[in-house]
Structures are given as structure tokens and as C-alpha cells.
Structure 1
């Protein structure tokens, strides 16, 4: 198949959607399909060599005439079989272009919770990256395909000798939606050490909170780290404190590396972890009780979740399920015409 992967994020950093678009493009290319990834230039690296690229100016709104015309020209000039929009911006652009692309198969993947979603009727298939997200979209015919994850085990990162066990690791951009302020307040009532890997605009506020709660010895902001698998190997458990997520890569990576996870009520943790390992509420002391459990017991209790991750959260599984969606959508398109 000749596939256009359209991703219109203008995010200067690499988040879950940007990572997904690159990895799915590369995996489909490895399987012998012709794939073109059209995205902002900062998101066109770390690809399988066979993936074609097209740099787009994604700074305009989804209603920008220039952007709409650029995408339409790209579609018309390359004989694609499948146009796959990644994210709501790309999906809304493709929805606007429906009158000009009726003979082509249109698919969109939604990655995060929004107040308004594209219309499923504008696509031959709408994909959500979690069951919770599919439920929130609340339109007929939405297929759930979990993001695939590629994680290579690494030797444990070196921690200072005085680091107190258990060590809990949190990973993510330092923004309010990740709930790190709540996690830091929670850790006042926890044994051990909390490591937070990531950077972002909330760093100084979180540093001040650590200081004001007298936790400088037990809570550490590590900044951006490229060795997250090594940090996970060194940690006893992984904690997710987000207020919302479309799909938690951190949860998937931790399970694939055999680490126990305690999480707030966000996908995919709340879809595959035991119910008693999902925290719902706003009381730091109650959350602390979840983080005070024996981590070896948590590992045993999450054996089924780890097996699910190994089977369903691989890149090959994601690509296979996506191709199945393409085939079904193409069959429907042929039957209509």
C-alpha cells in the first residue's frame, strides 16, 4: 500500500503522538509498504530509511487556507491508497478535505481527550489509542488500537549510595497536567526516594515545593534523561500521577521492563492494571498508602498486565492491527464504489 501519514503537530518537543507517528511509519515501511510521513521538520528524524518525508509548515490553524491547499496538493500528487491523519488537527484538516478525497481511504487516529472530536462519518475508520478515549469520543465505529512501544532493557543507572529504598520513578514533561505537584506532596508520607525525570515550565515551581516540604533529600528532579529504561531498571517501581492521558507510554514501558506501576485513573493504566493499583481521589495520604506497598508483591500481582503488554503493546502488534483496519476500510470503500 501507498500510505500518507499526516501529522500536523507544531510541538517543538516529541510527545506521545509524535513518537507514535514516527514508529508506526517506520514499522509499516519495514513490512514493505510505501510510507510518506508529512509533518513539521522537527518530527522527521529517527525514521526507517525507507520512509519518505515531506516537511510541512504546521504553525497555522487547521482552518488555514494555505495549510489546506498544501495538504490537498500533497495528496493529489502522490497516488496514495491510504491517508492516515494522526491527531485531531490533522483529522480536522482531512475532514475539511473530504469533498476532494472521496475516492481515497481516510483514517484518523485520536491521541488525546478533547472537548470536540472530528466526525467519524468523515472517515472510513476512526482509531482511538485507549478504550477510555474511544468511550469519550462517543461515536459509532471507533476502533481501539493501543500504541506500540519499543523499549530495550538497559543496565541499571547508577544512583547515589545513600539513596533510600524503595525508589519510585516518575517520568514526563514538567507541566501541570502530569500532577507532579500532587505527587511531591504525597511523598511526604512515603518511605524511600522519588525520582522525577523530565523538564518543562513547572520545574522551578516543583523545586520550590520540594524545598518548602523539606524533601530535598528524598525527592529529586533529574531533568531531561535519555536513559529512562536504565532509570526504570534502577527503580523499584514506577508511579504515574497524571490528571489525564490519552495513552501512557510510561506505563507501557514499565510493564514491558517488568516494573510495577501505581497510577492515577488514566489510560492505559486504568484499563490493564489491577483495580487496586489505580488511585482515585485527591488525598495525598491515601495516595501515599498505594506507594507504601511491597514492590515485589506488586510485581506478582501485575503478572497478567505484563503479559498483556508483551502481547499487545509491541510495534508489530500495533502495525498488524493498523493494517487490518486499512484492509477493512479499503474493502468498504470498494463496496461503496
Structure 2
């Protein structure tokens, strides 16, 4: 099987590709991965091929390189990870009739690959599957690894309750809206992540008079430890295909308030999904009693334990492989 990911960025999709390929390899499956060089570093024991992922999905050079790779390998299954890779396989469909083509879509787009070009399409959330509006889509949630850790040491002067937000500092994460909303909340907001919005968010914290209550922590590798130290986790994204932060918080037993994005809107009670009409409306949701939030999310945590494990993700994906092969045999 060849797993293809030709996105140059680093995020949830690349994490998913790496973890799925590694888990399948550990089970004795013959898996090879073609992806950007920076995504191949941690693929121990997996044969991998670097791609120039900065090329357009319509680039003749990219299409030819992938087709040559497919023709030299004895692959039964071609599995595209992400919309760009899926469009590449769609273009190559007339030349890959011997293989079974599968694509996993990870994020919301204005246009999706056609189901007719694949033996199966997979979406990483139900909301994403609904948006794709195509027949025969299977939902397989990403596997989330979350190991409890000792609480991290918080910045001096941190006041309770402590809310933690995690993510790249980019506009789609909605951190500017969250900072404005937090002005009407007690306690401390910690934002872990780095990115191009760093200076603008720093300035916003200062201009709203919240330098003592909102802390930008920068990139952190100890997110589980930060979650252990926090009282709750807040997600302010404008859109997500699948929120790893939500999955980690559920598995680590932390109460969550989120905007209307997957997977929060598929696991949490409806009244725990915050309104984004105004910063004040978002603050109202953050100002709910945290102990009650935690109690009301107990069912969501149980559901997450069943559906979000790496083992469940791997087995459900292998089941798809078996199904498409048996139907095509």
C-alpha cells in the first residue's frame, strides 16, 4: 500500500499520516509513504519517498513523479491523505486501474474530489462528511494519543480558573476573538502556540488591558502537562476538519468550551458550544460553572475513549481496505 500526502505544511493531517502508517507497519502491513521530506523524518521502519510538495497538484512534473512511483511499486491500494493528494489521484485514475484508490479528506474546502474517482472516500468528522455531499463517505475519526502527565508549572501570578487554548497563531484559530471575549471572564487565559499572528495578538492583549490575565506561551511540547495544570480547555477556531485539541482534552478529562467546529460539535452537549455572535456571548459560555461542565461532558469522554483511540482508527481503516479489495476481487 502506498500512502500519499503532498501537503508542504505541518499539522494534524501530517500527524495522522505518520501515526496511521506507523501503526499499520507495526501490524505487519506493507506500507510505504510518499510525502514532503520534513514529514518523513519520524517514519521508523517505513519505506518512504520524498516529494516536491510545493508544486501545484496539476503540475506535470509532480503527476509524472507520482505515476512513476506507483508503476514501480507493487501496490494494491493507493491512499491519498488530504484534498491535494486526492485531486492528484483523481487526475491519475485512468492510469491506476489496477489499484484500489482511497482518499481521506481532512479539512473543509470549497471543492472536493469526486467520489466516482475512488473506491472509497473517508472523512475525519461527520460534519466534514456532510459538507462533502457525496455518496458512500465513511467517517473515521483520527486517532488521538493523550498520556496523562504531571501538571506544568504555570506563569507567576496565574489566577484561577485557568483556561488553556492551543494552536497555531493564525487567523482561522480565532484567538483574537477569544482574547476580546476573555475581557469579561475571571481567571487566566493561556494560549500555547506560535505563528505569524504572534505580534498582532501580543498587541491586542496589551490594548485590551489584559497583560496580567492573558499569556501567550509560544510553542510548547508539553500540552498534556499544560492541560493537567489548567481548569478547562477552550477552542475558538472558525473552522476545523478535526480538532486534535478537543480529542486530547476529552481523553485527559478536561472540561471544554468550543466554537461550532468538529469534533466538539459531535461530542459535546449543545449548550457547551459557544456562540460567536459577539465576544460577550462567547464569554457567557466560558463563565459557566466548570464542575457542572465536567459532569455534563462525562458521556462525551466515554464516547471519545471508544472512538478516538489510534487502535480504532487503524482497525477501521484496515476494514475499509479489506472491503474494497473483496468487492473488487
TM class by shorter chain equals over 0.9
Measured in 2, the distance between the counterparts of 1:186 and 1:308 equals 30
Measured in 2, the distance between the counterparts of 1:332 and 1:168 equals 49
Other-structure match for 1:26: 22
- TM-score, length basis structure 1: 0.96
- 1:286 deviates by 1.3
Other-structure match for 1:278: 273
Other-structure match for 2:252: 257
Gaps of 5+ in 2: none
Other-structure match for 2:239: 244
* Equivalent residues of 2:275, 2:281 under 8 A apart: no
Gaps of 5+ in 1: none
Answering whether residue 35 of structure 2 is matched by residue 39 of structure 1, we say yes
* Aligned Cα root-mean-square deviation (Å): 0.8
Q: How does 1:274-313 map to 2 (within 5 A)?
A: 274-313=269-308
- TM-score, length basis structure 2: 0.98
1:9 maps to which of 7, 12, 17:
7
Measured in 1, the distance between the counterparts of 2:293 and 2:156 equals 25
Other-structure match for 1:61: 56
Measured in 2, the distance between the counterparts of 1:83 and 1:191 equals 51
Answering whether residue 84 of structure 2 is matched by residue 86 of structure 1, we say no
Q: Could you report, residue by residue, the CA deviation over 1:212-263 in whole angstroms, capped at 9, with x for unpaired residues?
A: 0000000000000011011000000000000000000000000010101100
Measured in 1, the distance between the counterparts of 2:41 and 2:277 equals 40
Q: How does 1:201-216 map to 2 (within 5 A)?
A: 201-216=196-211
Measured in 1, the distance between the counterparts of 2:80 and 2:67 equals 13
Structure 1 runs, 4 residues or longer, greater than 4 Å off? none
Higher mean Cα deviation, 222-231 or 290-299? 290-299
Answering whether residue 143 of structure 2 is matched by residue 148 of structure 1, we say yes
Measured in 2, the distance between the counterparts of 1:39 and 1:132 equals 27
* Equivalent residues of 1:124, 1:333 under 8 A apart: no
Q: Could you report, residue by residue, the CA deviation over 1:247-286 in whole angstroms, capped at 9, with x for unpaired residues?
A: 0000000001010110000000001101110013321111
Other-structure match for 1:139: 134
Measured in 2, the distance between the counterparts of 1:280 and 1:128 equals 25
- 1:31 deviates by 1.1
Measured in 2, the distance between the counterparts of 1:257 and 1:46 equals 25
Answering whether residue 327 of structure 2 is matched by residue 329 of structure 1, we say no
Measured in 1, the distance between the counterparts of 2:42 and 2:307 equals 23
* Equivalent residues of 2:17, 2:81 under 8 A apart: yes
Measured in 2, the distance between the counterparts of 1:42 and 1:152 equals 25
Other-structure match for 1:95: 90
Measured in 2, the distance between the counterparts of 1:71 and 1:332 equals 26
Aligned length: 329
- 1:162 deviates by 2.3
